[in-house]
Chains A and B, each alone.
Chain A
Amino acid sequence: MKQPLYILSACSISPQHSYDMERFLNPVISSDDNKLYVTAPDYAKYISPVAIRRMSRMLKMGITAGMRSLEMAGIVTPDAIIIGTARGSVTDMENFLKDMISLKEEALTPTGFIQSTYNSVNGWLAMMTKSTRYNQTYVHRGFSLELCLLDAQMMLAEATGNKYLLAGGFDELTEEYFIIRDKIDYYKDEPVNSRTLLSHYDTKGSIGGEGAHFFTLSNDPNNATCAIHGIAMLQQPSSDALQQAIADMLEKNGITNDDIDVMMCGMNGDVRNKFLMDPLIAGCSTNTTIAAFKQLSGEYDTASGFGLWLVHYLFTHSSIPSDIIYKQGSSTSVKNVLLCNVTIACNVTLMLVTSS
């Protein structure tokens, strides 16, 4: 990866007070029913009353997080809008599908159908920012956000004059979607207090979550908080292959294990990926602080967005919040962070984020 992705701003809508950063983790939002829904901000801030009338939750979350990220970076019209979402607006899909079934295909309203289209948030963000250039939507399960970032990285490396991109990922939890995924052991059978998720690493499944995370990216380091220097997507790797991929990424960037100040780890508490996570943690340098985030976000296909937002948060705040520390390391600074996410299907993604 020759072209670093400089992060100018990051916005998160998550179960935690992440949109309102001053209140982040004060208090920690938790649940006891294996579901973490977002703490909703005021969606009317960026979306007009006429537009917001028909919008579902997912659209409001995605649009608001995207607009806020641009505003924080001081960008009005991005050169591209690239989004990753595994399932788009699940609520809209459910509403249209169930209406179609119950009304026997008669007298259906189009709103659910339109908004369930995976690129509907892309379209709204383009309209609201008057961004008439590149616009793309990736829908590849646990790789959706990473593909979006990979595209952003390619785009900024191409000689197209593009300078400021809006990239983001989002997915939604609904009661029905929870039932569906619960049938294939996506969630734990036993009720778990979300804050204690990682002490339940002996059973199958995780807890459900949702969120929307957007990042304003540039190839210009001015005003950047940090930069993504490597992205890797590993399809069900062996433990050795994961270690090797990390070693390769560090080597390409001229750093070693000891240089990693924080490993931001997307451990989800599912016993089925313990074979990946245990050696990964054991292999970390004593310098490295291991941080974890799915006890705060829940598990979903684009949960790595919350992880990346948290990494960005570490670079903008001098200390590591105690609620995310899994194992304290000896390093006292935050210069190199490795984000390692693992999904229920045991796919792994890596991002190397550094201070410059």
Chain B
Amino acid sequence: MAERVVITGLGIISALGTGKDAHLTAFRASRSGITGVTHLKSVHADEFVLGEIKMSNDELSEKLGVPTGDNGYTRTTLLCLAAMDDLLQTTDLSLLRNEPFAFINANTVGGMSKMEDIYMDVIATGTDEKNNKYINTLDCAESTENVADHYGLKPIMATISTACSSSSNSLILGARMIKQGIVQRAICGGGDALSRFTLNGFYSLKNVDKKPCQPFDQNRGGLNLGEAAGYCLLESESSAKARGANIIAVLSGYANTNDAYHPTAPSPTGEGASRTMQQALDMAALAPEDIGYINAHGTATQNNDLSEGLAIQRVFGTNAPYFSSTKPFTGHTLAAAGVIEAIFGMWAMEEQMILPNLNFETRMEELGIQPVSSLMEHTPINHVLSNSFGFGGSNVSLIFSKA
């Protein structure tokens, strides 16, 4: 049997703040990070609410100790660096310098947050060089390579982009590389900064709610976008134990499948999503009733919540485990959603609490189940399931278990 893969370090920045304490405080106060717009320069800024991180690029740069102004870093990279800085609070960097490890990153639009401001200048012919330091930032790999460079690391690098399941796929790849003995450790996750491009993209799909989102609610009106970055340190159980690391959770099951149904919409019956959850359960050798909490994808779009809700019922029946979507706290953070929600799941298990699905009012008429709408402390959780679904029919489920 292949060796178990464990999680020994976490790092995160979202609209709720940086690090564990900020997030747990917000969860316990049921305080959402979704607000009016401060930094995103959109003509729709006054119309929308977003899970925006209330730090400017200069403030983020100061916090990171890098030059402010045009430093060549996009907001995406700055968020990734902030999450990595958080992870390195509890992880010794020298651990990563001494042997080969993997850095698996994910994002959906690279440095679009910067490129959309300068694009017309960039495509004009001529020799104006002021934007050249950003010219390659549309490449998704830009943030990956910049983060590694910033810490002077030479990992095996990969960047994944499977829309809203991207960073969940990062964790799967890292785990597989560890199981195959390619590396002992992998930092896996991803990040996305808000951009007009994605906001208008989802708006053109009529998927955006201008009010705070209401996942799994009969009257849900779409998603709120957010921005975030998160990373997990994955390693083989033996190497974690050998160095006496604190094991936060075991990545006991995962599955990646495809709906093969539609370019953007999930299968309405939840067939693909249920198959994904079932495969993850099978891999973890768990029965549905072993799952104590499901952190659902729960975007609050019509399609996702219907499909995912039915899928949960298919796998777990109407006596489903406690489940919630934490997107009313952070917004939908796209490539970061998978990893930050995996982190929330691990914290829920550590703290033995069920995170609330804010803004829930009315059960969906198609469903016999409904999410937990207020925080529940002192709830035994031994295994959590985290779902991420994306465009292109991409489905990922992850299961974390107590060490």
Which A residues contact B (CB, under 8 angstroms)? 81, 86-88, 93, 96-98, 100-101, 104-106, 108-110, 113-115, 117-120, 122-124, 126-127, 129-141, 143, 147, 151, 154, 157-158, 176, 179-181, 183-184, 233, 235
Contact = CB atoms under 8 A, between A and B. Distances in A.
A119 B391 contact: yes
Given A105-B43, A119-B162, A137-B160, A100 B257 contact: no
B317 interface: no
Nearest to B138: A87
Contact of B108 (A117, A135, A184): A117
B140 A136 contact: no
B392 A123 contact: yes
B120 interface: yes
| Most A CB within 10 A of own CB, among B108, B201, B256, B259 | B201
A81 B260 CA distance: 11
24 contacts: A87-B138, A97-B115, A98-B119, A98-B120, A109-B204, A113-B205, A114-B264, A117-B161, A117-B163, A122-B392, A123-B263, A123-B394, A126-B259, A129-B260, A130-B260, A132-B259, A134-B256, A135-B257, A136-B160, A137-B161, A138-B158, A140-B144, A151-B173, A179-B124
B356 interface: no
B259 A140 contact: no
A96 B201 contact: yes
| Most B CB within 10 A of own CB, among A93, A132, A158 | A132
B158 A123 contact: no
B258 A138 contact: no
A140 B158 contact: yes
A275 to B, nearest CB: 20
| Most A CB within 10 A of own CB, among B145, B261, B263 | B263
| Most B CB within 10 A of own CB, among A98, A154, A233 | A154
Contacts of B379: none
Contact of A138 (B44, B154, B159, B272): B159
A119 B257 CA distance: 13
A96 B203 CA distance: 12
B275 interface: yes
Contacts of B119: 97-98, 101
B258 A139 contact: no
A101 B116 contact: yes
A120 B139 contact: no
A81 B256 CA distance: 11
Nearest to A132: B260
Nearest to B123: A176
B122 A135 contact: no
B318 interface: no
B136 A127 contact: no
Interface string B115-129: 110011011110001
B70 to A, nearest CB: 16
Contact of B258 (A108, A135, A235): A135
A129 B257 CA distance: 14
Contacts of A105: 42-44, 196, 200
A139 B159 contact: yes
B116 A235 contact: no
A252 to B, nearest CB: 14
| Most B CB within 10 A of own CB, among A87, A88, A136 | A136
B197 interface: yes
B245 interface: no
B26 interface: no
Contacts of A81: 258
Contacts of B260: 126-127, 129-132
Contacts of B259: 126, 132
B177 A110 contact: no
A114 B119 CA distance: 20
A118 B272 contact: no
A119 B334 CA distance: 14
A326 to B, nearest CB: 29
B270 to A, nearest CB: 13
A141 B139 CA distance: 7
Given A86-B139, A179-B124, 15 more contacts: A87-B139, A97-B115, A100-B196, A100-B197, A109-B204, A113-B200, A114-B205, A115-B263, A117-B108, A119-B394, A123-B391, A135-B393, A143-B141, A147-B158, A181-B135
Contacts of B257: 132-135
Contacts of A158: 176, 179-180
Contact of B162 (A106, A115, A135): A135
Contact of A235 (B154, B158, B159, B200): B154
Contact of A179 (B115, B125, B182): B125
Nearest to A102: B120
Contact of A126 (B157, B169, B180, B258): B258
B392 to A, nearest CB: 3
A129 B261 CA distance: 11
Contacts of A96: 197, 200-201
B132 interface: yes
B125 A140 contact: no
Contacts of B161: 88, 117-119, 137-139
B371 interface: no
B116 A97 contact: yes
Contact of B263 (A118, A124, A139, A183): A124
Given A105-B43, A141-B141, A131 B258 contact: yes
A110 B201 contact: yes
A135 B144 CA distance: 21
A224 to B, nearest CB: 22
B390 interface: yes
Contacts of A138: 158-161
